[in-house]
Amino acid sequence: MATVAISRGDAAISAAPTADRALLRGFLERDRIYAAYAICDLDDREFSKTRWGAAWSGGSVIALVLEYSGASPQPLFAMGREDGIVAVLRHVIRPRLAFIASLPAAVPAINTVYRLDSGPQMVRMWVDRARFRPADDPVRLGVERLAPSDATELNRLYQLGFGAWLPPQAISDGVYYGLRVQGRLVAAAGTHVTSPAARLAVVGNVLTHGDYRGRGYATAVTGAVTAELLESCDHVVLNVRADNPPAISAYRHLGYAEHVRFEERLAHRLGSPWSELVQAFRRRLSLGKDLGKEPPPR
């Protein structure tokens, strides 16, 4: 795709695809904690799964948008000036449906291209070796490093929560710890993505079975994952929903600090056939509820 030039009053903005990893890294490192996922995606193992669009003004990059490949809706990450983000979304990165992550300030601009579903803000938290406080005696609790052979049991636990499915290779490539009670895996934590080159890692897939919550198990397994990652990483980050105070408190107990709050929303491209279909379906669903005289939600 060729570069697209857009006029914005006195400022000229151009938008185009790019695969220049040095350019991308230079821009993303301006806020490496917020951009942690994107920086990790620059590594060889992940880069082939990504598409990037950049916006320039006055010879300088002002915004980036990353699209990670996979089944729709694709994850999108936006960073930079709002007008630059919009230029990329209008002309370069154009999925019909996506999960868009952006800072709150960019939401009004993104709304000119996509309709965003509502949802709670996300909190990006981070820790380094100086801040990290290990969990209380994880060995006593029975925390153990998980292996690819534990994939079936791990996926069985995850199906109780966010419905994830991990192949054994993901456990081999990442760092996963679990905790068993009477031989049953009841808590686990792992990694979303890591970058040896950037010395950066993202913790995720943290879950405790509902029957065993409130016992510090999530803190213990997350602490074990974090401790191993900090042996080779300068920073470890994670995301948590802003409406989940117990989880935020557990991560603070390990030394994690809040860096920024951001939006992560399902986004429907305005004017696309898919967007029109979804809206029509929702109107019919709403009409059906009205006709059935269902009580309003409490």
Separation of alpha carbons 72 and 58, rounded Å: 35
160 in a structural domain: yes
Cis amide leading into 73 (omega within 30): yes
Neighbours of 4 (CB within 10 A): 16
The tally of domains found in the chain comes to 2
Q: Are residues 51 and 83 in the same domain?
A: yes
223 in a structural domain: yes
296 in a structural domain: no
Q: Are residues 8 and 75 in the same domain?
A: yes
Q: Are residues 170 and 217 in the same domain?
A: yes
Instruction: Tell me the residue ranges of DSSP E strands in the chain.
Output: 4-8, 11-17, 50-57, 60-68, 74-80, 97-102, 114-116, 122-127, 143-145, 177-181, 184-195, 200-208, 235-241, 257-269
Q: Are residues 166 and 218 in the same domain?
A: yes
47 in a structural domain: yes
Q: Are residues 152 and 201 in the same domain?
A: yes
Instruction: Give me the CATH number covering residue 89.
Output: 3.40.630
> Where are the alpha helices (H) located in 71-230, listed in sequence order?
82-91, 107-110, 138-141, 151-158, 168-173, 217-229
| % of the chain beyond a pLDDT of 90 | 79
pLDDT band of 71, cuts 50, 70, 90: confident
Q: Are residues 86 and 139 in the same domain?
A: no
**Segment 21-28 mean pLDDT:** 98
Q: Are residues 201 and 277 in the same domain?
A: no
pLDDT band of 222, cuts 50, 70, 90: very high
Separation of alpha carbons 251 and 218, rounded Å: 9
pLDDT in tens, 88-98: 999 999 999 99
235-241 and 122-127 beta bridge pairing: antiparallel
* Three-class secondary structure of residue 247 per DSSP: helix
Q: Are residues 156 and 227 in the same domain?
A: yes
Q: Are residues 48 and 142 in the same domain?
A: no
Q: Are residues 98 and 142 in the same domain?
A: no
pLDDT exceeds 70 at position 75: yes
**Segment 154-175 mean pLDDT:** 85
b/e map 26-60, b = 16+ CB within 10 Å: ebbeebbebbbbbbbbbbeebeeebbbbbbbbeee
pLDDT band of 255, cuts 50, 70, 90: very high
297 in a structural domain: no
Q: In this predicted structure, what is the pLDDT of residue 289?
A: 35
127 in a structural domain: no
Q: Are residues 158 and 196 in the same domain?
A: yes
pLDDT in tens, 119-147: 999 999 999 999 999 987 766 778 999 99
State which residues form the domain around 10: 4-122+263-291
149 in a structural domain: yes
pTM as predicted: 0.85
Q: In this predicted structure, what is the pLDDT of residue 253?
A: 95
57 in a structural domain: yes
Q: Are residues 30 and 139 in the same domain?
A: no
Nearest to 81 by CA among 100, 105, 59: 105
